[in-house]
Chain A
Amino acid sequence: MSRASRKKEQNSRPNIITLVRSYFIRHFQVFFYSLGQLSRSPFSTLMTAMVIGIALALPTGLHVLLNNAQQLSGGWESTAQISVFLKKSVRAEQAQKLQSDIQNWPDVVSVDYISREQALKEFQMLSGFGDALKALNSNPLPSVLVIKPRLNQNSELTTQNLLNKLRILRQTDKAQLDMQWIRRLYAIMDIVERGVLILGALLGLAVLLVVGNTIRLAIQNRKKEIVVMKLIGGTDAFIRRPFLYTGFWYGLFGGVIAWLLVSFTLLSISEPIEKLTMLYQSQFELNTLSILTTFFLFIASILLGLAGSWLAVGRHLREIEPQ
């Protein structure tokens, strides 16, 4: 190379500071350029974003509901109690005597005595069978001692010991731990949680493919532009950039739509849930999407968008070479 042309070449090259600054400005420009490209065809952009949004809304919504269920049942464990159904032959005074005896056991926090009459009254009030019960000649309900076990580190074992001790009392007809069903509920929720995870993974994959396919079509449409860029020295990174940002936008829009869908769904079911909890005479506030969940939803949707476009660009950009 002659001196003249070497000098010329150096002159035509930007220095490193300009290069770095141009790099960031370029990113900034492409960021909005790709948004502008999408806004040119708002309908198809919205359609794609909707598909992504719905696919993401499903696992997100299920996750929130499951969280709520876990929170609701979380309070129940501390209410573990043993119901001791006394034999019908046990009279009220004997039952009260037993109550104060058990009260003194070390593993017991409290003992409530529900007499046969009280039990019947409660049953009439809550079951709605009030009138039907009046037809009965005698009270069919036994008296009950409701025992709250002391909960500590190995409460499972102590509770079991306590249960065994209560079972062998001669006044006891039947003693049962009212926690079995919570355990079962937890087991069921574990299964559901696993299911939500699998569903989430599958739908995440679907999002990946949707974005990938959309970007693939965008690449096909801009084939000529890509060829020209390659001819005049555009690097792969340069050519890839607008497509990656397009994927980013699809992901973000999909995430926003998913957020809206889940939020509106939760809003619309919060009223009937409030009614239901009132019927159970309990206090329960339906948790909506937390900031953390929202954050993860957006991060996940953006990453899926980026990954989808990365896959498509990686596969198809190499195929397009100037002829």
Chain B
Amino acid sequence: MIRFINASKRYSSGFDALQNVSFELADGEMAFLTGHSGAGKSSLLKLIALLERSSRGQVIVNNQNLAKVPRRRIPYFRRNIGIIFQDHQLLFDRTVYDNVALPLIIAGHSHRDIGKRVRAALDKVGLLSKEKKYPITLSGGEQQRVGIARAIVNKPPLILADEPTGNLDPELSAEIMGLFQDFSEVGVSVLIATHDIALISQLPYRVLTLKSGQLINDTGSQAGTEAEDSFGGAR
């Protein structure tokens, strides 16, 4: 699903955000990306979502070499990635339903289809009863779950999450992680950037650790294959 081959990112200021990063994330695999702030977690996610382009090396997502995706194709490329942000990025002048429906409207789904899919996504995150509410009236955890519903409503094969539990207490964080586990179990690749070491140490998933832009640790193999195996079995 994701393959980094010696990818580097240097910003125009001269700052090296990523240096020679190589790793591979299989289809349906779930992994954590960790490291101190400024270690390059966000930069790495940005390269995957084509918010930035790598300066050197290659990034291949969904069998597409991102260097070869022209600017006007970027929107179509992003429709295959569900992105979840620490600050939710919800639109506060629209209801929960309208927020979650947005990716489907953009992709041009029919009205009936949208209704079905939005309710399914909201049901999945346990917010079906709040579809008519405005995000501002929801708690932080609920807002984050609306953001997750919006990311999965399009059924993307890949989910990226940038500090999804950053503002949540441990209990809510565990709940959110549970959701990601569920997605991974149905074959969705999930990459979660977080510095919540306490949380991820309890979970049996692969951990990629960044430090000053370099990949210094990859617990990969075992946990990774395990996840893949369980996915393979489900298939």
The CA-CA distance from A23 to B105 in the complex, in Å, is: 9
Q: Is B39 an interface residue (CB 8 A)?
A: no
Q: Is B80 an interface residue (CB 8 A)?
A: yes
Number of interface residues of A (CB under 8 A): 33
Q: Name the segment of B15-23, B108-116, B122-130, B200-208 touching the other chain.
A: B108-116
- The prevalent SS among residues of B at the interface is loop
Interface residue B150 (Cβ < 8 Å from any Cβ of A): yes
Judge whether B78 and A231 touch: CB under 8 Å: yes
Instruction: Tell me the complex Cα distance, A94–B211, Å.
Output: 121
Residues of B within 8 A of A22 (CB): 108-110
Residues of chain A with a CB closer than 8 A to B89's CB: 224, 227-228, 231
Summarize A's interface: helix, strand, loop or mixed: helix
A276 at the interface (CB under 8 A from B): no
A4 at the interface (CB under 8 A from B): yes
Q: What size tier do the contact residues of chain B reach?
A: 35 or more
Chain B contacts for A227, CB-based, 8 A: 89
Q: Is the CB–CB distance between A233 and B106 below 8 Å?
A: yes
Check A235 for interface membership: any CB of B closer than 8 A. Answer: yes
* Docked pose: A231 CA to B76 CA in angstroms: 11
Q: A1-B62, A2-B27, A5-B27 are in contact. Are A26 and B76 (CB under 8 A)?
A: no
Asked if A9 meets B106 with Cβ closer than 8 Å, knowing A18-B113, A225-B91, A234-B75, the reply is no
B136 within 8 A of A: no
Closest to A40 in B: B93
Question: Is A230's CB under 8 angstroms from B27's CB?
Answer: no
Number of A-B contacts (CB under 8 A): 93
| Contact, CB under 8 Å: B235 / A4 | yes
Cβ B105 vs Cβ A233 within 8 A: no
Most B-side CB within 10 Å, residue of A1, A228, A233, A235: A233
In angstroms, Cα B103 to Cα A228, docked, is 10
A-contact 0/1 string along B88-109, CB 8 Å cutoff: 0111000000000011011111
Q: Tell me the residues in window 257-285 of chain A with beta carbons closer than 8 Å to chain B beta carbons.
A: none
List residues of A (17-32) whose CB comes within 8 Å of B's CBs.
Answer: 18-19, 21-23, 25-26
How close is A15's CB to chain B, nearest CB, in angstroms? 10
Q: With the chains together, A232 CA to B91 CA distance in Å? A: 12
Known pairs A18-B108, A234-B106; list 11 more (Cβ under 8 Å): A1-B63, A2-B28, A2-B235, A9-B80, A22-B109, A26-B105, A230-B78, A231-B51, A232-B106, A233-B77, A234-B75
Contacts from A to B (Cβ < 8 Å) = 1-2, 4-5, 8-9, 11-14, 18-19, 21-23, 25-26, 224-225, 227-236, 238, 321-323
